[in-house]
Amino acid sequence: MKYLNRRQFVSRSSSLAATVAVPTLAGIGCTEAKMDEADLSAKESIHAQAKKGGLQFGAAILASQLKNDRAFREAVIRECGVLTHENELKWATLQNRENQEYNFSKADYIVDFAEEHNMAVRGHTLVWHLGYPKYLDQTVNPKSGRDIMVAHIEELSKHYAGRMHSWDVVNEAIDIKYEREDGLAETLWFKAMGEEYLDIAFETAHKADPKALMVYNENGLVYGRERHDKKRKAVLDLLKRRLSNNIPLDALGIQSHLSIGQHPFERDKFVGFLNDVADLGLRIYITELDVRDTHGPADIATRDQLVADEYKRFMEIIVDHPAVDMIVTWGLSDKYTWINEWAPRLDGLPARPLPLDHKMRRKKGWDVIVESLEARQKNDL
């Protein structure tokens, strides 16, 4: 499968943010020596560096963070060319009682903000087995499930038709804990419609918004344990089966929630998987990148270095793969990360998983992301 090169594909896939004129480091005499604060300002932003190489970079955020935190808002405007709603487009955030009118106000704020700042928007997510209103547990069944799911997809897709770069149409359909041969998660949607719920979801979303790119989003695909091997195979097999039905599917979203000291990283396995996905004719988006430091040392300098090392190992592969078009981190600043709620450190210290610290200062993780993007640009894929 001959890959489109990045520049050919990027012009096809979305209206990118306006070109950002960025002074090259060489142009202002920066050396390889350690950057001090002044030098770092010469590196315009992750988004600007990514854009120079035909990649899009952004982050998942909450409307409240943009509205209420000026420093964070300015950091988002500087560093991002793409925004994803962390929670505002989840069903339970839009509606929590049956027949209640959807409240799009928070989600609209993010889409309006993105358009005002010439950023693309990724819709997350149309069909998932979490983040939905609990009344669905009583109402979704084999007789009603299709109509309920279709109505929800149409409600969101039509509301934003023409404004979304892409939708995570289905999120996390595979979960090997169900020990099924096909690896499918036995969710309320699967129980109601079988595996075909994916086809129905993609076809409904594409019909409601033909301009948006259609993405299947999944976690647990990066590392080298047996369970990651099984998940990569199950995802590839699922994609092949659905694509054989000619569903409108443009890209695989690889969430990429990394962690320090937890799992072996086997480069060949991951690169081989990226190649297999690309051979299906799909593009690849990194959709939820962060590095969990829950089990890392307390010392900040040591922990930040370990997080940066994990970003570097991952980014060196990503920036060099011609099928990858986008990198989105799950949050931008340590001030706002899901990890403090979902995987808190035993010592109670705040997590430091993201490129900016809680005061929006660039960390070593920021450095290695930008440096890997610079290296990619030199390779000019």
- 194 vs 187: CA distance, rounded Å: 9
* Site track 85-124 with ligand G3I (rule: CB under 6 A), x = hit: -xx--x----------------------------------
- How far is it, in rounded angstroms, from Cα 153 to Cα 164? 14
- Site membership for ligand G3I, residue 218 (CB under 6 A): no
Work out how close the CB of 62 gets to ligand G3I at its nearest, in angstroms, rounded to a whole number: 7
Sign of the C-alpha dihedral computed for residues 89, 340, 73 and 120 taken in this order: negative
The candidate with the shortest Cα–Cα distance to 232, out of 203, 240, 210, 3, is 240
Kindly identify the residues of this chain, within the stretch 341-370, that bind ligand G3I according to CB under 6 A.
342
Is residue 310 at the binding interface for ligand G3I, with CB under 6 A as the rule?
no
**Would strands 257-259 and 56-61 be described as parallel, antiparallel, or unpaired?**
unpaired
What DSSP designation does 19 have?
P
Instruction: Tell whether residue 79 is a contact of ligand G3I (CB under 6 A).
Output: no
Query: What's the min distance (Å) between Cβ of 36 and ligand G3I?
Result: 34
- Say if strands 166-171 and 120-127 run parallel, antiparallel, or are unpaired: parallel
> Under the criterion CB under 6 A, does residue 216 sit at the interface with ligand G3I?
no
CB 288 within 8 A of CB 330: yes
Question: From residue 239 to residue 278, what is the string marking binding to ligand G3I with x (rule CB under 6 A)?
Answer: ----------------x-----------------------
Helices 300-318 and 267-279, axial angle in degrees (round to 10) = 40
Among 338, 352, 355, 356, binds ligand G3I (CB under 6 A): 338
Which of these segments, 84-92, 97-105, 224-232, 262-270, binds ligand G3I (CB under 6 A)? 84-92
Single residue of 9, 131, 148, 317 touching ligand G3I by CB under 6 A:
131
* Shortest separation between residue 115's beta carbon and ligand G3I, angstroms: 22
Distances in Å between the alpha carbon of 137 and those of 31, 140, 169, 173, 298? 59, 6, 20, 17, 42
DSSP result, 139-196: H--TTTHHHHHHHHHHHHHHHTTTT-SEEEEEE--B-GGG--TT-B---HHHHHHGGG
Stretch that binds ligand G3I, among 71-79, 82-90, 105-113, 115-123 (CB under 6 A): 82-90
* 340 is a site residue for ligand G3I (CB under 6 A): no
Instruction: Give the residues lining the site for ligand G3I (CB under 6 A).
Output: 86-87, 90, 130-131, 171, 219, 255, 288, 338, 342
